Amino acid sequence: MGTEPAKQPVRAAVIGAGILGASVGWNLARRGAEVVLVDAGQPGAGVTDWTFSWVNASNKTVRRSYFDLNVAGIAEYRRLAEAVGPESWWYPGGHLRWTDDPGSEAKWLEIADLLAGWDYRVEVMTGDEARRLEPALTMPARTPVLFYPDEAWVHGRRLVERLVRGCVDAGAECRFGTAVMAIRTDGDSGVRAVVLSDGSSLDVDVVVNAAGPDAARVAGFVGRDLPMRHEPGAVTRIACDRVPIRRVMHAPHIEIRPDGDTAMVLHSREIDALIDTVEDPAELGRLLHESVRRVLPGLEDSGIVQTRVSNRPIPADGFPSVGAVPSVPGYYEAVSHSGITLGPVLGRLLAAEILDGTPDGMLADFRPERFGAR
């Protein structure tokens, strides 16, 4: 009686080594796939390093399936912290939100009621009670403050570096500082090779497009039109002798989180609205710095380290594009805003789809085929 030949491992090129690409690559490699991580820059140094990095589902209520996916994303982080160790990148401790606008306050209190009905933990406290958690804050004593205890922030670049090390330990190859110039396909056989800017090519069975802001260009190599939003965001890092807060928060006109013991990250949708009218990103950083000092007056002596404007990788309808594209066998997408919250769970689900051939029902509303071929 003969024996069947051993099944050859899947050989996959993962394009993009941000949080999504690193998560897909790590999950593929640890399950025995031959993985090549490709990035025009360095791992975790792009949008992943210049995003607010808030792990949450409280801001994802527009569609229940999207909320559920983000809840799964939070749970996945706890599993990931156990698998690779939480040191230097995982910062649970909750999230605080309050506002000085009555209309916005009513909206967020209504959302808190909705979330409580969906069994998502939320507490409504006063400004006085919130200052017991964060004594450095200044806010009216009776203002309503929402506290989401299960939310967190992540140091994205450090997590990506850890996942990439895990990929390499599992046998993965890294081609960083090298852009993708073409994807070769072969009729019904689908993906055959990836051509790189250094003139080399990679023979592969699978391509994962996790290229973030460059995802539409990569999709074009297989004749696919992936419509993306143009939605830039400005993020500023400031340095201080000691970070005066312990957790991520949305204060009036400013979003704030720690970034280690002596640095903080600032963002504001209001400042983002000025991006197209301000030539120098340093001016956006100055406005963010001015805004944070109203909430944390102890930051008068802090200074701006750097401000960067990045285009968020958001598909046109605002939701992730994750999974296979049936018209191009072997081509998969992992493109999403909220990549920090969703990266680990999408990485696990997409790796399982690639290796097992069965899409997860949690991704049913987010399949790439909702965007037609070119």
CATH code (residue 358): 3.50.50.60
Q: Which of 353, 238, 230 lies closest to 307 in space, CA to CA?
A: 238
Domain count of the fold of the chain: 2
Domain annotation covers residue 322? yes
Q: Which of 292, 311, 330 is the last residue of a domain?
A: 311
Q: Other CB atoms closer than 10 Å to residue 103's CB: what's the count?
A: 8
d(CA 141, CA 148): 19
Residue 1 has pLDDT above 50, yes or no: no
Give the range of the structural domain holding residue 111, as residue numbers without chain letter. 92-151+230-311
145-165 pLDDT, tens digit per residue, is 999 999 999 999 999 999 999
Domain annotation covers residue 24? yes
Domain annotation covers residue 349? yes
Q: Are residues 241 and 307 in the same domain?
A: yes
Question: Which two three-digit tokens encode residue 280?
Answer: 């120098």
Question: Which two three-digit tokens encode residue 255?
Answer: 């979003």
Q: Which of 178, 151, 140 lies closest to 13 in space, CA to CA?
A: 178
Domain annotation covers residue 73? no
Domain annotation covers residue 64? no
Q: Are residues 196 and 97 in the same domain?
A: no
Q: Is the pTM of this model over 0.75?
A: yes
245-268 pLDDT, tens digit per residue, is 999 999 999 999 999 999 999 999
pLDDT bracket for residue 5 (50, 70, 90): low
Q: Cα angle at 332 between 329 and 336, to 5 degrees? A: 160
Q: Which of 345, 364, 362, 316 lies closest to 219 in space, CA to CA?
A: 316
Q: Which of 286, 311, 336 is the last residue of a domain?
A: 311
Domain annotation covers residue 59? no
Domain annotation covers residue 185? yes
Q: Are residues 198 and 217 in the same domain?
A: yes
Residues pairing with 206 in the sheet: 12
pLDDT at residue 3, as a whole number = 57
pLDDT at residue 164, as a whole number = 98
Domain annotation covers residue 276? yes
d(CA 60, CA 57): 5
Q: Are residues 189 and 298 in the same domain?
A: no
Provide the pairing of β-strand 34-39 with 173-176: parallel
Looking at every residue in the chain, the average pLDDT score rounds to 96
Q: Are residues 209 and 301 in the same domain?
A: no
Q: For residue 40, give the 3-state DSSP assignment.
A: coil
